[in-house]
Amino acid sequence: MAHVNPTPLTQLSEEESLFYATVRQFAEEVIAPQVRAMDSEQQFADGLGERIFDLGLMGIEVPEELGGAGGSFFDAVLAIEAISTVDPAVAVLVDVHNTLVISVLRRWGSQAQQRHWLPRLATDTVGAYALSEAGSGSDAFALQTRAEAVAGGFRLNGRKLWISNAREAGLFIVFATLDPGAGYRGITAFLVEKGTAGFTVGRKEDKLGIRASSTCELIFDGCEVSQESLLGEPGKGYKIAIETLNEGRIGIGAQMLGLAEGAWGHAARYARERRQFGKPIAEFQAVRFTLAEMATEIEAARLMVYNAARLKDAGQPYVRQAAMTKLFTSQVAERVASQCVEIFGGNGFVRDYPAEKYYRDAKVGKIYEGTSNMQLATIAKQVLTSR
């Protein structure tokens, strides 16, 4: 069935509209038939990752001369949105890879690191971003993973937790403290390849939502990496993390926007098909008004996501807009998904229908890449010090 949007896509060029439509069609034709099985089995379908690479969605901002699409950050946001309308779990794979891993390498990687890794990331190697630990969630820089300088490189010891893409990834950006006495100024970033001695991917978390997306523990036990694995300068890991997460929050905004769009589409179709008291429930004012409110919030969320992404591409300040976008879109996604369940009624509470999965997937939007309270703290700081 053709997809249904609550409102037309706005502020897109002809080329951007075509790109969005292409990714949306791929999501509906290739991903949609496998969503329920992937959610149940808690893993991506065989070959799905390769097809996403083949479509060029894993190297959107990688320059063409390095094997990528040479696109913009806005293009990455559109891809995340389009995939999220069908399965936000699959969108995590594309989001983390593009807005965090590739973004870090493009900005902070040496020429040698970029020449080595960007072609691989664009064609066959998934990336993961390893910052969080059991004791450092919102307090991201309380991390305990240690890096020690040794002959020819560094030795890493510690554990990371809640790392997205961990099971699929071939490259990990790992943050560790090189100088504990320096506090957050001792945090340093490293490139660690899968299979490096002393590095193990631990158990996969059994999650409420986005279940097909792998979220795993990483274990570093005397893991030695070369000097060439140092990303940026020693002690600059905190700066890399902060600036990258600001971009990543727009990506999460796009994921939550797409999720809300997908939930709305299913709710609208069901309301037209479900009959009670002799007519479709879409003809009852209460249902019509609910769908209208959902559509209005989705349109507002879309404008916020697109505006933040445009600002980022234009080189304009966007920290406040990124935080507002993540805060608002996560609220909209949860509300819209909840209302979708209610429109489905009893069918919304069972797994035979898509509503309950959107509801489960929505919750993480308020948690990862900065909780809603952290976004509020950032927004308050931005607005109260600029006026």
- How far apart, in whole angstroms, are the C-alpha atoms of residue 122 and residue 64? 10
**The one-letter amino acid at 84:** S
Q: Which token pair is 288? A: 């019509």
How many angstroms separate the most distant Cα atoms in the chain?
79
Contact 349, 356 (CB under 8 A): yes
Inter-CA distances, 260 with 5, 52, 257, Å: 10, 22, 5
- How far apart, in whole angstroms, are the C-alpha atoms of residue 144 and residue 271? 51
Ranges assigned E (strand) in the chain: 126-130, 146-150, 153-164, 169-177, 187-193, 199-204, 215-226, 230-231, 275-276, 279-280
Closest CA to 100 of 175, 186, 22, 173: 173
Of 81, 217, 297, 369, catalytic: 369
Residues 6+ apart with CB under 8 A from 206: 42
Give catalytic status of residue 297 as yes or no.
no
Q: Which token pair is 103? A: 């973004």
Helix, strand and coil percent figures for the chain, each rounded to 5: 60, 15, 25
Give the active site residues: 369
